[in-house]
């Protein structure tokens, strides 16, 4: 019968097993996530933007550097009532390319404020550059509609169209002549027909909606 392992052998074996177990548990050895990669995955803002404040600061810098270079950006800041759907599409592409898609901005402002505020891309731009209140876009539309309806007497048909235009604003952010000549609006006569309902003042009505939409409250 052979001799059993000595106490020294047992101690050596235990140390080896512990060392191997530690290696197996190391994220770098098994390809597991490190603390840094986990943090980046949680935020997803990119290099040097680990906090929402960093991301929003970069967003603000981008606006400042490009407000005179990107026509649609300048329109959002100075004449939002002139923004077209084509302008908005161009602006979204520019922001996406620069690393500022609306989904990331939603996330950053939500984490910064601890509130679910879907301000929309225009709202985020004006908040960052001009300090506009951070309100949900739907709330802005509702407030604008209320002010317009209270400002003067409207016929029942005009009120109906104001309601429909406001509903469309909530889903598309911009309602211009092109929008009113497509889809459900086109089926009912488009811009020209709606313009008749407003006695030839539809352009002025749309401008008034946008001015109220982005009006700074006293």
Considering the domain boundaries, does residue 27 fall inside one?
Answer: no
Highest mean pLDDT among 85-89, 110-114, 159-163: 159-163
For residue 140, give every residue at least 6 positions away whose Cβ sits within 8 Å of its Cβ, in sequence order, or none: 123, 213, 214
Considering the domain boundaries, does residue 72 fall inside one?
Answer: yes
* End residue of a domain, out of 84, 112, 130: 130
Domain span at residue 152 reads: 138-213
Considering the domain boundaries, does residue 24 fall inside one?
Answer: no
Considering the domain boundaries, does residue 20 fall inside one?
Answer: no
Considering the domain boundaries, does residue 12 fall inside one?
Answer: no
**For 99, phi and psi rounded to 5 degrees?**
90, 20
Digit-coded pLDDT (tens) for 51-84: 888 899 999 999 999 999 999 999 999 998 889 8
> Do both 48 and 65 map to the same domain?
yes
The model's pTM is 0.72
Best CA proximity match to 84, nearest among 69, 74, 72? 72
How many domains does the chain fold into? 2
* End residue of a domain, out of 107, 130, 153: 130
Rounded to an integer, what distance in angstroms lies between the CA atom of residue 148 and that of residue 154? 9
Considering the domain boundaries, does residue 14 fall inside one?
Answer: no
> Do both 49 and 124 map to the same domain?
yes
């Amino acid at each position: 019968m052979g001799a059993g392992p000595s106490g020294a052998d047992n101690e050596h074996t235990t140390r080896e097993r512990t060392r191997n177990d530690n290696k197996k548990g190391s994220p770098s050895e098994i390809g597991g996530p490190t603390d840094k990669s986990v943090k980046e995955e949680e935020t997803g803002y990119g290099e040097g933007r680990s906090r929402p404040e960093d991301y929003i600061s970069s967003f603000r810098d981008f606006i400042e550097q490009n407000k005179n270079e990107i026509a649609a950006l300048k329109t959002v800041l100075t004449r939002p009532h002139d923004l077209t759907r084509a302008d908005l599409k161009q602006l979204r592409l520019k922001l996406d390319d620069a690393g500022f898609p609306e989904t990331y901005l939603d996330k950053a402002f939500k984490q910064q404020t601890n509130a679910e505020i879907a301000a929309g891309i225009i709202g985020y731009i004006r908040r960052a550059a001009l300090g506009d209140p951070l309100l949900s876009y739907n709330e802005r539309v509702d407030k604008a509609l209320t002010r317009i309806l209270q400002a003067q007497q409207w016929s029942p048909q005009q009120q109906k169209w104001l309601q429909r235009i406001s509903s469309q604003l909530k889903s598309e952010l911009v309602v211009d002549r092109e929008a009113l000549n497509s889809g459900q609006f086109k089926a009912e006569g488009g811009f020209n027909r709606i313009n008749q309902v407003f006695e030839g003042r539809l352009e002025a009505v749309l401008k008034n909606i946008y001015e109220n939409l982005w009006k700074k409250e006293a």
